[in-house]
Amino acid sequence: MADNARAKRLADLIREVVAQKLQRGIKDPRLGSHVTITDTRVTGDLREATVFYTVYGDDEERKAAAAGLESAKGILRSEVGRAAGVKFTPTLTFVADALPDTAKTIEDLLDKARQSDAKVRETSAGASYAGGADPYRKPADDEAADATDTDGDASE
* Average model confidence (pLDDT) across the chain: 82
What local confidence, expressed as pLDDT, does residue 147 receive?
67
Q: List the one residue out of 40, 39, 41, 42 whose CA is nearest residue 2.
A: 42
* Regions of the chain with pLDDT less than 50: 154-156
- % of the chain surpassing 90 pLDDT: 22
**How do residues 18-60 score in pLDDT, each as one tens digit?**
988 888 877 877 777 788 888 999 998 888 999 999 888 788 8
What local confidence, expressed as pLDDT, does residue 40 receive?
92
For 7, other C-beta atoms within 10 Å of its C-beta total: 19
Q: List the one residue out of 9, 10, 23, 21 whose CA is nearest residue 90.
A: 10
Query: Cβ contacts of residue 142 below 8 Å, gap of 6+?
Result: none
93 phi, psi to nearest 5 deg? -125, 125
What local confidence, expressed as pLDDT, does residue 124 receive?
82
Question: Can you say how many angstroms the Cα of residue 19 is from the centroid of all Cα atoms in its chain?
Answer: 22
What local confidence, expressed as pLDDT, does residue 154 receive?
47
